Amino acid sequence: MAVNSKKDALKALSDVNPEHNFWVCNGNILKSIKELPSALKKMKKNVFKFHVSKEKNDFANWINDIIKDTKLAKELYKIKDKKKSILKITQRINWLKKKAK
């Protein structure tokens, strides 16, 4: 799904259903895309590398499959760096917030 409307943006920013929370391997649980940048900032390198490698990107999968933001997911699949991921996600959240007004 592409985020085209205010309704889509609000949905992308809201908490997911509990069964769709993102369970980080360090025990943290993420309920929305808005929680992801701060979780990534605090995340140890080995935890990030567990979820993001050459072979996979669990955060991009969650954003694609659960949040339904295919544009952000496609961009994240290309990024394997934590700081760049944080920047891209933060930029997208800011864009979604403007769209949701």
The 3-state secondary structure of 14-80 reads CCCCHHHCEECCCCCEECCHHHHHHHHHHCCHHHHHHHECCCCEHHHHHHHHHHCCHHHHHHHHCCC
pLDDT at 4: 80
66 part of a folded domain = yes
Share of the chain above pLDDT 90, in %: 95
Given a cut of 70, whether residue 1 has pLDDT beyond it is no
Cβ pair 40, 88 in contact under 8 A: no
C-alpha distances (whole Å) from 21 to each of 5, 27, 54, 85 are 24, 12, 23, 19
pTM over 0.85: yes
69 part of a folded domain = yes
1 part of a folded domain = no
> How many domains would you assign to the chain?
1
Average pLDDT over residues 68-78: 96
For residue 43, the enclosing domain spans 6-100
